[in-house]
Amino acid sequence: METNNSVPSRRGRPPKIARSNADTRALLINTGLAVLTEKGFSATGIDLILKSAQVPKGSFYHYFKSKNDFGLALIDAYDSYFQAKLKRHLANDATTPLERIVLFANDAKQGMAKFEFNRGCLIGNLNQELSYLNEAMIARIKQAYTSWQALIEHCLIDAKQQKQIPQSSDCKMLAEFFWIGWEGAVMRSKLDKSSEPLTLYTAQFLRLIL
């Protein structure tokens, strides 16, 4: 008669998964990004993220001092990811500068549609919750916007040099204007469950600068 010597896992506890320290930290950040691009920072408890990542609470506090410290790590990670996406499109010399903006917008629309318009921009989401954020997080959000604006500004400078837009164009001001409107369009796309707000905003921005 065969016997089963395996010990059943304890009910209610996630299975122990062997991971390196770097893997566990990356998992927490990736899970946090997925959750917080859908839900608010203030409304999301650490327990939800730990449950999704199957990581015990003790491990979380090994890598992050507090929820705010975790929030800063999420902003850093999202900013790095988003800057890479922007550079892939906006610094692509194989296309004209204004085409690069359209390609970025199309990529963003496809990304939102992939997740049924439940996920948006982490930075934009946090911008709606400033009263819940500490000064360090607010400063880091401003820094991210500044970096994104610089990438759009450089693209518009290229457009000016290639005579796609008027030589009188204030590229710095237009870049800031772009992100103010873009974040609003992203929020409206989440609300409407449609890419139409992003399409409309991109078209009107290009009409403005032309």
Task: Specify the CATH number for the domain of residue 175.
Answer: 1.10.357.10
d(CA 21, CA 62): 10
d(CA 127, CA 183): 10
Query: DSSP assignment of the chain, as one string?
Result: -----PPPPPTTSPPP----HHHHHHHHHHHHHHHHTTS-TTT--HHHHHHHHT--HHHHHHH-SSHHHHHHHHHHHHHHHHHHHHHHHHT-TTS-HHHHHHHHHHHHHHHHHHTTT----HHHHHHTTGGGS-HHHHHHHHHHHHHHHHHHHHHHHHHHHTTSS-TT--HHHHHHHHHHHHHHHHHHHHHHTSSHHHHHHHHHHHHHH-
| Domain-embedded: residue 13 | no
CA dihedral 27→30→36→41, nearest 10 degrees, is: 50
| Domain-embedded: residue 18 | no
| Domain-embedded: residue 81 | yes
| Domain-embedded: residue 163 | yes
Domain extent for 157: 67-209
Rounded to an integer, what is the distance from CA 62 to the centroid of its chain? 25
| Domain-embedded: residue 30 | no
What is the residue-level pLDDT of the chain in tens, covering all 210 positions? Answer: 444 444 444 444 444 444 556 789 999 999 999 999 998 898 888 999 999 999 998 889 999 999 999 999 999 999 999 999 999 999 999 999 999 999 999 999 999 999 999 999 999 999 999 999 999 999 999 999 999 999 999 999 999 999 999 999 999 999 999 999 999 999 999 999 999 999 999 999 999 999
| Domain-embedded: residue 151 | yes
Rounded to an integer, what is the distance from CA 161 to the centroid of its chain? 30
Domain count across the chain = 1
Taking the model in full, what pTM does it have? Answer: 0.85
| Domain-embedded: residue 42 | no
| Domain-embedded: residue 161 | yes
